[in-house]
Amino acid sequence: MMTTTPTKYLKAVGIDIFLKGHNSYKLESGSFMPLTVETWQQGESTMVSMCHYGEQNGDLMKDPDILFNVKNNEIVYQEMQNDYMSFYSENHAEIKDFMEHTWVDNLINQGHKITEKEIEIDS
């Protein structure tokens, strides 16, 4: 299977991660869990959070939540959390493998599309 980076996926679904400000997007696809994407700048890096939220006993649960940054077109995976499995990792290689060989491919196959967005406009 072809490796797809999250930055290429996000661009393909219409999200410009380099847009200034703290921006938020909700993507949906039928019965699949919605995907929330947030982007913001931190110093010279662009920060990106990608997360599915489910609900258990009235609490929002991450399934999963991935945080990474992009600087000079290089992705640095920072952390991955999954509340349902009580899983947390800061292992760059482990997160990269999950993102580029499992999750992004699943998102592509599920066909998520932007249904809501909040763009912070700089004044």
Residues 6-21 have pLDDT tens digits of 999 999 999 999 999 9
The confidence score (pLDDT) of residue 123 equals 53
The span from the CA of 21 to the CA of 52, in Å, is: 22
Q: How high is the pLDDT of residue 40? A: 97
Question: Are residues 76 and 97 in contact, defined by beta-carbon separation less than 8 angstroms?
Answer: no
Q: Give the tens place of pLDDT for each residue, 73-117.
A: 999 999 999 988 889 999 999 999 999 999 999 999 999 999 999
Q: How many CA atoms lie within 13 A of 10 on its CB side?
A: 24
Enter the pTM of the model: 0.92
